[in-house]
Amino acid sequence: MTDATRDFLIAPSILSADFARLGEEVDNVLASGADIVHFDVMDNHYVPNLTIGPMVCEALRKHGVTAPIDAHLMVKPVDRLIGDFIDAGATYITFHPEASDHIDRSLQLIRDGGCKSGLVFNPATPLSFLDHVMDKVDMVLLMSVNPGFGGQSFLPGTLNKLRAARQRIDASGYDIRLEIDGGVKVDNIAEIARAGADTFVAGSAVFGAGSEADPHRYDSVMRAFREQLAGVR
């Protein structure tokens, strides 16, 4: 697929949403044009932070969220939670290869459960983890910050890694999304897209926008992202 035909998807990370009003926050961001709900799962073990689990994913489905939910598992071990997220209604389930003893098996578990599978690469994790599983991934997620917290700055070295990942995906011929996570803002999303990403996680840039009382507070940042991306096509 070429840059001209690639579709761009925006995946706000609810890590930066107001957890006391989570259903409403997700409704509002989807109404503002978000494509995917990025759902950061942290276990205070694989990463030094503790967030939300499958019960919250299920609660969003019961609340009426029908958009794809992209469960980014920053947990170790991963396999039991994969089952829980399948049951909870996740669409994508991605995990860090360092956190699984059997990467191929974990990927297969995700697909066997009817979900889309993905591997996540920390800034220092080599893309060679993809070598023998290109046929088993639907998503490659590159971290452009070290995982654990929202609001960090984009690591510029990720741009070359994105180009390398884009080449691998295009050469494979498989239909695999290339997602970027960490420090994505209106002023760098175009450069990130040019380097090969097609799916953009943004937490603080989205949920930090506008004034709290305004249900349309996310419209302008989502529009600004789209305008930047339109210039890339």
Residues known to be catalytic = 40, 181
Which residues, numbered 167-226, are part of the site for Zn ion (CB under 5 A)?
Answer: 181
- The stretch among 55-63, 144-152, 212-220, 221-229 that binds ligand DX5 (CB under 6 A) is 144-152
- Name the DSSP letter for residue 153: P
**Of 17-25, 94-102, 109-117, 180-188, which part binds ligand DX5 (CB under 6 A)?**
180-188
Residue 188's region, left for phi above 0, alpha for psi from -120 to 50, else beta, is: alpha
Q: By CB under 5 A, tell whether 70 contacts Zn ion.
A: no
Least distance (Å) between residue 86 CB and Zn ion = 19
Q: How many CB atoms lie within 10 A of CB 32?
A: 21
Nearest Cα neighbor of 35 from 55, 62, 7 is: 7
Interface map 196-215 toward ligand DX5 (x if CB under 6 A): -----xxxxx----------
20: exposed, middle or buried (Cβ count in 10 Å: 0-12, 13-18, 19+):
exposed
Examine residue 70 and tell whether it contacts ligand DX5 (CB under 6 A): no
Residue positions forming the annotated binding site for a divalent metal cation? 38, 40, 72, 181
